[in-house]
Structure 1
Amino acid sequence: MRLLALALLLGGGTVLHPRPVMAQMVVGASDQDHALIKRIEDHLNTITLLTAQFHQVAPDGKQSTGTAWLDRTNRRMRFQYDAPSPLLLVANHDQVVFNDSQLGQTTTMPMDKTPIGLLLRPHLELSGDVRVTALMHEGPEIEITLVRDESPGDGSLTLLFHEGKTLLLRGWIVQDAQGASTRVDLLHATVGGPPPPDRLFDTDIGDK
């Protein structure tokens, strides 16, 4: 069950009062919506490297914390869970690998079959094969939900932003094909800086 929860890819929670927006179509999206979507797209594509502490809520309500590294230039990520959690997630080489050292189990999934794979694209265009299905802008809080247009059944990725002087990515919600959601909140995030060691993104983690 732990690997199943982790395989929902790091997201619990629901989008608050979303309103449908079709990014690829004029119908349903105002000029203001399109401008906001373009701002979000431009902001995401300035984030090449991000390091943060995270707080995760799984579909069953279980909470965990840890440290996250996102290297979007090289399409790789590491979620290192704080003890006593036995879980580790590494995304690299077009794969997402989950390891539970306590159970001695490792699960591998294609990155492009997971919603989180959208976030790891070095350049994410919110058009083409990506569809915006919901947009919520309430005060400084923004939520935007994305799916792959050709395979929406793979699940959705809802990105959470806080709008101040600039946009701030503060986390995401991942919903799997069965409708179960996992939420990740980013804390003390740092954008940029020197690249982390390659060893952090080693997907051969079965014995580590």
Structure 2
Amino acid sequence: MATDRLLRTAAAALFALAFTSPAAADNAALDDDDRAAIARAEAYLNSVTTLQARFVQLDASGEAATGRLQVKRPGRMRFDYDPPTPILLVSRGTELVYYDRDLKTATRLDWEDTPAWFLLADRVSLAPGGPYRVVDVHRAPGVLVFTAVDADAPEDGRIVVSFADRAGTLKLAGWVAVDALGQPTRVTLFNLAANQPVDDKAFVFDEPVGALERQDP
């Protein structure tokens, strides 16, 4: 289908742009067309109240994992990985729980400190002076990609977010989170459904008896 081809094209552009030097991106001046593209991306993200999709994740070592993503803004997310990957990520409110089923460990952290901010924030702000700074924009037929960093700590890494752009309508295609060491984790979305009902029970984490608690430093 044409939409699938656009999503694959957007994902390919996303992966290539994830390796753009942050320093080079910081020095690139954004023009009026870039700012208009950023405004479109911001408006699209703020129009999405719920999201459901299948995903494929590829880490820096080339290891792949698949699963199901559910989001209900603000603050609620569930990354449920397919076996044999033992990981479950659940966010409700301000806390993100990373649970390893094999190790029976639950690590808790603030989702605002993770690359998931653009999915979970009540309102996404990409304008100058906001908490996140867009340092690069890539536009091509059928594709829109932006790169953003934490305005207060750009050295902590960056997020490269990709959209399929068809007939003037954006659709989230995926993202690459690049950490402070330059290690990328790529997530590509498929069968995405936005603004459809999502049961709040999806975001409840029932911690198993005997699970070890860890607090992210």
TM tier relative to shorter chain: 0.7 to 0.9
Structure 1: runs of 5 or more not aligned: 1-11
Partner of residue 125, structure 1: 125
Distance 2:50 2:69 in 1: 11
Partner of residue 47, structure 1: 48
- Sequence identity, in percent? 32
Partner of residue 95, structure 1: 95
Q: CA deviation at 1:144?
A: 0.5
Kindly indicate whether the alpha-carbon contact (under 8 Å) linking 1:112 and 1:118 is maintained by their aligned counterparts in 2.
no
Q: CA deviation at 1:193?
A: 1.6
Partner of residue 5, structure 1: none
CA displacement 1:79-98 (0-9 Å, x = unmatched) = 00112221111122212211
Kindly indicate whether the alpha-carbon contact (under 8 Å) linking 1:56 and 1:64 is maintained by their aligned counterparts in 2.
yes
Q: CA deviation at 1:110?
A: 1.4
Q: How does 1:1-208 map to 2 (within 5 A)?
A: 13-15=15-17, 20=25, 28-72=29-73, 74-127=74-127, 128-165=130-167, 166-194=169-197, 196-207=198-209
Please give the TM-score of this superposition, normalised by the length of structure 2. 0.80
User: Counterpart of 1:30 in structure 2: which amino acid?
Assistant: D
CA displacement 1:23-79 (0-9 Å, x = unmatched) = xxxx8121111111111111111111000011110121110111100112x311000
Please give the TM-score of this superposition, normalised by the length of structure 1. 0.83
CA pair 199-159 structure 1, distance change in 2 beyond 3 A: same
Distance 2:48 2:173 in 1: 13
How many residue pairs align between the two structures? 191
Give the number of the structure whose residues are more often helix, by fraction.
Answer: 2
Distance 2:42 2:174 in 1: 15
CA pair 164-21 structure 1, distance change in 2 beyond 3 A: farther
Distance 2:65 2:110 in 1: 24
Distance 2:15 2:164 in 1: 17
CA pair 173-179 structure 1, distance change in 2 beyond 3 A: same
Distance 1:96 1:14 in 2: 29
CA displacement 1:126-148 (0-9 Å, x = unmatched) = 02221001111122122111112
Aligned-CA RMSD value: 2.2
SS in 2 for 1:65: strand
Q: CA deviation at 1:13?
A: 4.0
CA pair 185-80 structure 1, distance change in 2 beyond 3 A: same
Deviation beyond 3 Å, 4+ runs, structure 1: 16-22, 203-208
